[in-house]
Amino acid sequence: MQNLNEKYQSVLEQREKVLKEIQDMQQQEIIKKYLELQKQKDNLEDEYNQLYKEVKMEEYKSCQHILVTDTVAGSGFNYQQYFGCIKCGLTSKVLDFPREKLNSLQLQAMYDYLYKNHFINNTFYDLRRLTGIETNIDCDIDLAQAIYTRIKNAHPTIDDVTAIKYFEIALNDIRNIKVNNERKINRARRLSLNDNFNRWDNRRI
């Protein structure tokens, strides 16, 4: 017990000493300046986050979407079908998560956009309410966006109908030309996907 009391007393004193030192330091001009900058940074961060989401939501609203489906196999014969845009990346996948589980600003903006516009069910009824072109392509949405981005980089002024044609050619090449694992990893890297990306072909479900 005595030991414990001594330890308690010692920690109490150290703590007070440190708190006092912090208080003294906070009186220094340079520290005041530092604290003020931290506060400004936090405020700007909040403002930035808010504006980023608004910009993204505006992008989703004004995009003439090119829509694909993304069929994901579940257990047994179950599967889940999502929709997504290969241009802006908007995907109904986000609706599968509670909002607080979405850890990126972009995914939160997607969720807010879909939710705000009452796309609360992941159905094709919702899909048809988005403006743009609905294709019959079924493809992982990350892969689809990666392919589209490459086409758009190579042909900045390409129209949507031609872009879809190029997209289908690129996707068919990826699916039909057999490559070994190493080349698949290189291909994933070229498309800025994860090394372990393996959803090249949604048809094999």
Q: What is the DSSP string of 105-159?
A: HHHHHHHHHHHHTT--S-SHHHHTTS-EEEEEEE--HHHHHHHHHHHHHH-TT--
Q: Give, in order, the Cα–Cα distances in Å from 23 to each of 10, 13, 17, 28, 118.
A: 20, 15, 10, 9, 51
Instruction: State both tokens at 185.
Output: 């990893």
In whole angstroms, the minimum distance from the beta carbon of 63 to Zn ion comes to 3
Instruction: State both tokens at 164.
Output: 């879809």
Among 53, 56, 87, 93, binds Zn ion (CB under 5 A): 87
Nearer to Zn ion, 88 or 127 (CB): 88
Nearer to Zn ion, 68 or 171 (CB): 68
Nearer to Zn ion, 133 or 185 (CB): 133
Kindly state whether residue 133 participates in binding Zn ion, applying the rule CB under 5 A. Answer: no
Kindly state whether residue 114 participates in binding Zn ion, applying the rule CB under 5 A. Answer: no
Nearer to Zn ion, 87 or 188 (CB): 87
Are 151 and 166 in contact by the 8 Å Cβ rule? The answer is: yes
Kindly state whether residue 193 participates in binding Zn ion, applying the rule CB under 5 A. Answer: no
Strand partners, 113: none
d(CA 87, CA 65): 6
Among 57, 85, 147, 188, binds Zn ion (CB under 5 A): 85
What is the Cα gyration radius of the chain? 26
Nearer to Zn ion, 68 or 193 (CB): 68
> Binding to Zn ion (CB under 5 A): which residues in 65-84?
65
Backbone angles phi and psi of 169, in degrees to 5? -65, -45
Among 56, 70, 83, 88, binds Zn ion (CB under 5 A): 88
In whole angstroms, the minimum distance from the beta carbon of 60 to Zn ion comes to 6
Kindly state whether residue 93 participates in binding Zn ion, applying the rule CB under 5 A. Answer: no
Nearer to Zn ion, 106 or 185 (CB): 106
Are 53 and 46 in contact by the 8 Å Cβ rule? The answer is: no
In whole angstroms, the minimum distance from the beta carbon of 91 to Zn ion comes to 10
> Binding to Zn ion (CB under 5 A): which residues in 26-65?
63, 65
Q: Which of 61, 26, 30 is nearest to 132 (CA)?
A: 61
Question: Whose CB is nearest to Zn ion?
Answer: 85
Enumerate binding residues for Zn ion (CB under 5 A): 63, 65, 85, 87-88
